[in-house]
Amino acid sequence: MNYGVIYRNNEATFETSTANIFGFQAVNHGIESSFLDQVRELAREFFHLPTGEKQKYARPSDNFEGYGNDMVLFDNQLLDWVDRLYLLVHPQDQQKLRYWPENPVSFRDMLYDYTARLRHIENQLLKAMARSLSLPEDSFVMQFGERPSMYARFNYYPPCARPDLVVGLKPHADGSGITILLQDEQVEGLQLLKDNQWFRVPIMPYALVVNVGDQLEIMSNGIFKSPVHRALTNSTRERNTFAMFCAPDPAKEIGPVEELVDERRPRAFKKIKNYTESYFHYYQQVKRPIDAVRV
Ligand SMILES: O=C(O)CCC(=O)C(=O)O
Ligand SMILES: [Fe+2]
């Protein structure tokens, strides 16, 4: 597994080639450990509230935004062992504050703050990833547009009596451009699939796990890979993680960066808009939407 990013002088720089990477852990990203502790603490406090209190922010059955559990779209689908709070956090004028917890009291302020910090880190990473392929640094950022989306998903995995039978999150690849994940600082569970084998993603308490999502795989013409991953459950301890899905403006057409298309590496993906629109339709069937946009 390639975990090669190191921040230097406030700029993300990769130590090794990023070709074929699918994820890395970012350290020295500039977010103070105390703030990350606070983020985790507030997320835990929310999930530990009585059910009635959390239900105030419940998602409607036909939408994924709000508090709830796995959406059921098919009779025979696998169910994830997870509670989640899923919120659009950017662009700001599309936020639906009725789903944003007011309890714990500082939850909303934390989320505003965290979003702003991650927006900055997202930009730095996308530029560094472009530079690492000898592209103009705005090559990916430009495709994200002026109004990129950011979705926050807080995942709460309660202990599960049969971790041998039940997964926290079924195998999937993210539909984002990149996903920036704050893992639980103690309890492991995330695994990536490579060469038909599952590899654990080790805990680095204050690092941010960055996974390539499908849309960056498309933009990079397949040079970056969006990894299939899953989250396991365990029988004794709860696990809390917080994913931020950073994606292009759904109204903008995206596609492989022209400089990355040549005879040696022909165009691998079609141009597409609003990639994530039917994401859950695929997710619930453990299928990959990226297969539908291959050339
Ligand atoms: O909880 C984890 O470790 C993984 C989360 C994840 O993959 C997701 O939310 O898409
Ligand atoms: Fe994921």
ipTM for this model: 0.98
In this prediction, what percent of the chain has a pLDDT beyond 70? 94
* Atom of ligand 1 at shortest range from CA of 230: 7
User: What SS3 state is found at 19?
Assistant: coil
Closest CA to 62 of 77, 73, 74: 73
pLDDT tens digits, 247-286: 999 999 999 999 999 999 999 999 999 998 878 788 778 7
Nearest-ligand number for the alpha carbon of 231: 1
The verdict on the CB of residue 227 being under 6 Å from ligand 1 is no
pLDDT tens digits, 213-242: 999 999 999 999 999 999 999 999 999 999
What are the φ and ψ backbone dihedral angles of 10, each rounded to 5 degrees?
65, 15
- Identify the burial level of 110 via C-beta atoms within 10 angstroms of its C-beta, where 0-12 means exposed, 13-18 middle and 19 or more buried: middle
State pTM to two decimals.
Answer: 0.94
pLDDT surpassing 50 at residue 72: yes
pLDDT tens digits, 83-123: 999 999 999 999 999 999 999 999 999 999 999 999 999 99
Nearest-ligand number for the alpha carbon of 201: 1
Q: Which CATH homologous superfamily contains domain 7-289?
A: B-lactam Antibiotic, Isopenicillin N Synthase; Chain (2.60.120.330)
Residue nearest to atom 8 of ligand 1 (CA): 243
The verdict on the CB of residue 192 being under 6 Å from ligand 1 is no
The verdict on the CB of residue 189 being under 6 Å from ligand 1 is yes
* Atom of ligand 1 at shortest range from CA of 209: 3
Alpha-carbon torsion (131, 136, 137, 139), positive or negative: negative
Report how far residue 242's alpha carbon sits from residue 40's, in angstroms, rounded to the nearest whole number: 8
Residue nearest to atom 10 of ligand 1 (CA): 174
According to DSSP H, which parts of the chain are helical? 33-47, 51-55, 107-132, 139-144, 214-219, 279-283
Nearest-ligand number for the alpha carbon of 209: 1
User: Would you state the pLDDT for residue 12?
Assistant: 67
Tell how far the Cα of 109 is from the centroid of ligand 2, in angstroms.
Answer: 25
Would you list the domain boundaries of the chain?
A: 7-289
pLDDT tens digits, 175-218: 999 999 999 999 999 999 988 999 999 999 999 999 999 999 99
Residues 6 or more apart whose CB falls under 8 angstroms from that of 280 comprise 64, 71, 73
The verdict on the CB of residue 155 being under 6 Å from ligand 1 is yes
Q: What is the Cα gyration radius of the chain?
A: 18
> Residue 56 has which token pair?
């105030």
pLDDT tens digits, 113-150: 999 999 999 999 999 999 999 999 999 999 999 999 99
